Amino acid sequence: MHYKLISCEVFKDELLHCIDNTENIIDAEFIAKGIHDLSNAEMRNRIEKSIRQSEGLGFDAILLGYGLCNTWVFGLSAQQTKIVIPKSHDCIGILMGSKQKYLDYYFKNPGTYFQSVGWLKNTENEPSIKKRSIQKLYGMDVSQEELKEKYGEKHINYLNDSMNQTKHYSKMAFIDTGTVNNTHYQIKAKDNAKNNNWNFDVLKGNVQLLQQLVNGNWPDSEFLIINPGTTVTQSMDNDLIYTTATVSPV
Amino acid sequence: MDYLEKLHDAVLKGNPDIAVEITEKALEEKIDPHVLINEYMIRAMDEVGARFERFEYFIPQLLMSAKAMKGAMALIRPLLISEGEEDNSICAITGTVKGDVHDIGKNLLGALLEGGGFRVVDLGTNVSPEQFIEAVETHKAKLVCMSALLTTTMPGMKTTIDAFKGAGIRDKVTMLVGGAPVTNQFAKDIGADGYKDNASAGVVLAKELLGLTK
């Protein structure tokens, strides 16, 4: 089979490993992780742009290396070529190899910041994304100097604390998928945990879902197949919400 | 009383020091605290919310306005209580659902609800359905606002609404949901009374649903 793979760069190392281990021919395209910082609509537009460019080129399917990642996937449609996407809340569930494993861990450890090699390799957003980010839109992407100048030094702590998304976090978990030499990144993650005064954990992940994605092994329980003429809409599925494809309205 | 307009401006422009200073002066001069709240501060916070929705105000500005309002309210509230006055403002319970520890949006909503005249009891983050129910009963709340930032924790909103149904008190409260992954469709599916994609619009909706719109 000949597949087009469009993926977040967060999976790049793991997916290159999987591509080496499949009989299928994979044309891979990786998109900046930073598009997650844009609005859902903008994120979808960016991924759809790559999808539209890949349709009608004879690929047997377009594979997406993405999770639901907020709600960008609602409204995504397939036109000429079927699209396949793992049923996962986000990349964490994919890297852990199971959405249930992810949920079990998460609810036992609320306030965990997850990291992986791909996360640590792609920490800085390019300027074009930065200036359109949600953070920027709501005025949260400002320097300490700007805050001081505008609101006065005595209010800095209040503002920083109020805008700190991770203030209730207490743990950093590094996901080791076992496919990439990650010693350097594990040390970095551990340092990040220490700097934040958080506990540190290494979780055993795997590339099973990513390998299945490129192998063309897509059980309903783990993958959503979006056939041409259908659109992803919301559903109230118990184990994973919002992954139903229905016929596009004409 | 011309100087009272400065209280409005201090809240609107997010200047906590001036807001506190004017409030102190006004209270010394025995000006009715309700006048300060209803005619100056709520009006200012309504405008803050409107500017935020139009992207004329950003989150830091909104936070500074909230701080100004809070500073003034900290002086006013004890007076209301010591006068033995019954607090007839509507109580709103806010909280981030179980498993979720994110609270920026929820706190902004809380600040704007206070600015809108609600008495807000914030349960913080990682709040179980039982805690929401207990708080509603304890504080005789009419409004529950639930927040979630993750698709993993969003189902906690449905669990909470179902728990209210189970406890037989669902029809006694208005339940709103919000947070980055939440949508109108989701709100309808889980039986919430409403959803908005920003804190300011959430307050407008809450007022509408509770019949508080002027």
Please give the pLDDT value at position B1: 58
Give yes or no for residue B15 having a pLDDT over 90.
yes
**Residue A208 burial (C-beta neighbours within 10 Å; 0-12, 13-18, 19+):** middle
Under an 8 A CB cutoff, do B183 and A111 touch?
no
Report whether A22 contacts A214 (CB < 8 A).
yes
Averaged pLDDT of chain B: 92
Question: Which CATH number characterizes residue B59's domain?
Answer: 1.10.1240.10
pLDDT in tens, A94-148: 999 998 899 999 999 999 999 999 999 988 888 888 888 888 888 888 899 999 9
Decide if A169 and B101 are in contact by the 8 Å CB cutoff.
yes
**Is the residue at B128 inside a domain?**
yes
CB contact under 8 A, A242 and B67: no
Q: Which of A89, A158, A241 sits opposite B67 (nearest CB)?
A: A158
Q: Which of B82, B101, B136 is the last residue of a domain?
A: B82
Can you tell me the mean pLDDT for A226-234?
A: 87
- Say whether pLDDT at A9 is over 80: yes
| Smallest CA–CA distance from A73 into chain B, residue | B181
Token pair 């021919």 in the structure block, residue: A25
Is residue B71 located within the same domain as residue B128? no
pLDDT at A123: 83
The structure tokens 């220490």 sit at A194
Residue A66 maps to a domain: yes
Partner-chain contact B183 A163, CB within 8 Å? no
Higher model confidence: residue A125 or residue B197?
B197
Q: Which of B82, B115, B143 is the last residue of a domain?
A: B82
Residue of B nearest to A109 (CA): B99
Q: Is B190 within 8 Å of A236 when comparing Cβ atoms? A: yes
pLDDT of residue A248: 53
Q: What's B164's domain CATH number?
A: 3.40.50.280
H/E segment holding residue A154:
none
Residue of B nearest to A100 (CA): B152
CB proximity B128 to A under 8 Å: no
Q: Say which of A68, A110, A137 has its CB closest to residue B99.
A: A110
- Token pair of B19 as six digits: 């807001």
**Any CB–CB contact under 8 A between B183 and chain A?**
yes
Does B191 lie in the same domain as B151?
yes
CB contacts < 8 Å between A and B, how many? 82
Q: Looking at the structure, tell me whether residues B36 and B121 fall in a common domain.
A: no
CA distance A175 to B49: 41
Query: Does some domain include residue B214?
Result: no
B55 to chain A, minimum CA–CA distance in Å?
8
**Res. B161 pLDDT band, cuts 50 70 90:** very high
State the average pLDDT for chain A. 91
CB contact under 8 A, A155 and B16: yes
Q: What is the pLDDT of residue B87?
A: 64
Establish if B43 belongs to a structural domain: yes
B92: pLDDT strictly greater than 60: yes
pLDDT in tens, A71-92: 898 889 999 999 999 998 899 9
Secondary structure in 3-state letters for A64-111:
EECCCCCCCCCCCECCCCCEEEECCCCHHHHHHCCHHHHHHHHHHCCC
Residue A197 located in a structural domain: no
In chain A, whose CA is at the least distance from the CA of B63?
Answer: A159
Same domain membership, residue B184 and residue B113: yes
The pLDDT value recorded for residue B78 is: 84
- Give CA–CA dist B27/B82, Å, rounded: 14
DSSP category for residue A10: G
Same domain, B54 and B111: no
Same domain, B196 and B141: yes
Residue B85's pLDDT is 63
Is residue A238, in this structure, part of any structural domain at all? yes
Please indicate, yes or no, whether residues B77 and B155 belong to a single structural domain of this protein. Answer: no
Max intra-chain CA distance, chain B: 53
Characterise B213 by phi-psi region: left (phi > 0), alpha (psi -120 to 50), beta (else): beta
Closest CA–CA distance from residue B31 to any residue of chain A (Å): 29
- Residue in B100, B103, B152 nearest the CB of A103: B152
Residue with tokens 């056939």: A227
* In a domain? residue B8: yes
* Distance to chain A for B85, nearest Cα, Å: 32
Per-residue pLDDT at A240 exceeds 70: no
Lowest mean pLDDT among A125-139, B97-111, B133-147: A125-139
Mean pLDDT of B177-188: 92
| First-to-final CA distance of chain B | 25
What pLDDT score does A237 carry? 64
Does the pLDDT of residue A249 top 60, yes or no?
Answer: no
Domain of residue A65, residue span: 2-87+208-247
CA A144 to chain CA centroid, Å, is 29
* CA pseudo-torsion sign A145, A149, A155, A160: negative
Count the domains in chain B: 2
Q: How far is B14 from chain A (nearest CA, A)?
A: 9
Considering the domain architecture, whether residues B95 and B192 belong to the same structural domain is answered as yes
pLDDT above 50 for B39: yes
Whether residue B135 sits in one domain with residue B30: no
Domain presence at residue B204? yes
**CB within 8 Å: A151 and B64:** yes
Inter-chain touch A90–B151, beta carbons under 8 Å: yes
> Domain check: are B77 and B100 in the same one?
no
Which chain B residue is nearest to residue A112, measuring alpha carbons? B101
Q: Between B63 and B80, where is the model more confident?
A: B63
Q: State the pLDDT at residue B62.
A: 93
How far apart (Å, rounded) are the C-alpha atoms in residues A225 and A207? 20
Q: Backbone phi, then psi, for B47, in 5-degree steps?
A: -70, -40
Residues counted in chain B: 214
Structure confidence by residue, pLDDT tens digits, A180-217 = 888 999 999 999 999 999 999 999 999 999 999 999 99
In the predicted structure, residue B120 carries a pLDDT above the cut 90: yes
Per-residue pLDDT, A206: 96
- Asked if B115 and B73 sit in the same domain, the reply is no
Domain boundary among B82, B102, B120: B82
**B180, part of any domain:** yes
More confident call, B189 vs B82: B189
How many Å lie between the alpha carbon of B196 and the closest alpha carbon of chain A?
A: 15
Mean pLDDT of A21-46: 95
Cα–Cα distance for residue pair A183/A193, rounded to 1 Å: 15
Query: How close is the nearest chain A Cα to the Cα of B47, in Å?
Result: 17
Q: Which domain holds residue B167?
A: 91-209
Q: Residue B57: its chain A contacts at CB < 8 A? A: 139
Q: pLDDT tier at B83 (50, 70, 90 boundaries)?
A: low
Task: Tell me what the mean pLDDT of segment B187-199 comes to.
Answer: 94
Share of chain A above pLDDT 70, in %: 94
Measured torsion, CA atoms of residues B156, B159, B165, B166, in degrees rounded to the nearest 10 = -130
What is the number of domains present in chain A? 1
Asked whether residue B14 is domain-assigned, the answer is: yes
Residue B162 lies in a domain: yes
Question: Over 60: is that where the pLDDT of B152 sits?
Answer: yes
pLDDT value, residue A250: 44
Q: Which residue has the higher pLDDT, A231 or A15?
A: A15
Note whether B43 and B10 are same-domain residues: yes
